[in-house]
């Protein structure tokens, strides 16, 4: 089953994100084919990263939550909120599922 993880960064200068970015990317890279699509959410003018969005595959919502809890960004308390929901691919999905 697919899940969308949508996370919003805490306000700040981006230093916490930058300090943990390499570990975050390593975590994602070490997740095999679980991560289907992902990237940073940007500020309205596109100049800053202000959050994250991932589409992942997991057996259950709890598995998706457990996986997300191990993300270095989450462990560094970067996010002010994280929403994880089941997602059904419907349009333009041939390259991600």
Output the domain CATH number for residue 14: 3.30.70.1060
The answer to whether residues 96 and 37 touch, using CB atoms and an 8 Å cutoff, is yes
CA distances 51 to 8, 30, 54, 59, 95, Å, are 4, 21, 10, 25, 23
Number of domains in the chain: 1
pLDDT at 83: 98
Domain that residue 74 falls in: 2-87
- List pLDDT tens digits, range 34-58: 999 999 999 999 999 999 999 999 9
pLDDT at 91: 84
Residue 82 has pLDDT above 70, yes or no: yes
Q: Does any domain span residue 33?
A: yes
> Which one has a higher pLDDT value, 94 or 1?
1
pTM (2 d.p.): 0.91
Task: Give the rounded percent of residues in the chain with a pLDDT score beyond 90.
Answer: 89
- Residue 89 is encoded by which pair of tokens? 């691919």
Q: Does any domain span residue 11?
A: yes
Q: Does any domain span residue 83?
A: yes
Q: Does any domain span residue 62?
A: yes
Residue 93 has pLDDT above 90, yes or no: no
């Amino acid at each position: 089953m697919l899940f969308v993880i949508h996370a919003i960064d805490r306000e700040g200068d981006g230093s916490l994100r930058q300090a943990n970015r390499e570990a975050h990317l390593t975590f994602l890279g070490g997740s095999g084919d679980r991560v289907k699509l992902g990237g940073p959410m940007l500020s309205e003018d596109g100049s800053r990263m202000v959050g994250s969005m991932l589409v992942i595959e997991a057996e259950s919502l709890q598995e998706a939550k457990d996986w997300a809890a191990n993300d270095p960004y989450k462990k560094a308390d970067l996010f002010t909120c994280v929403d994880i929901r089941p997602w059904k691919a419907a349009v333009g999905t041939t390259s991600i599922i």
